[in-house]
Amino acid sequence: MKILILCTGNSCRSQMAEAFLHSFDNRLTVCSAGTEPAEKVNEKAIQVMCEAGIDISRNIPKSVSQYLSETWDYVITVCADADRNCPIFSGKVKHRLHIGFDDPAKVTGSEEFVLNEFRRIRDEIKEKFYLFYQENLQL
């Protein structure tokens, strides 16, 4: 089963979703990418995933263009506002889904508030992607 998770920067939400799907089942082929990849994975995303026992510190944001020629079982967008912020994927896809989340990188406030928002969104991603896994992928 091949799954591609898309967002704009591939620095937070898509990285977390990719890592969680891998943690649920290491037999899955899971990749993530963005239309405008950031220079690096967001430090707070790395921190909150580490708190959950998953290391994404070696990940790098990737461009969706490198995956257009491949065939995918699922392509999933994770931007809360998919129409404006997420790519239209023109590759070969069996199922297209949208599982949207707020963008933690856009949260402002105290360090504690921002980290708590990253944690909240991380937990939402884990919950929704585990449900997706149970309903669609579990063998």
Which residues have a catalytic role annotated?
7, 79, 86
Residue 66: helix, strand or coil by DSSP? helix
Task: Please tell me the distance from the alpha carbon of residue 68 to that of residue 89, in angstroms, as a whole number.
Answer: 7
Task: Please tell me the distance from the alpha carbon of residue 10 to that of residue 42, in angstroms, as a whole number.
Answer: 9
Region of residue 10 (phi > 0: left; psi between -120 and 50: alpha; otherwise: beta):
left
Between the CA of residue 122 and those of 17, 26, 49, what are the distances in Å?
8, 19, 7
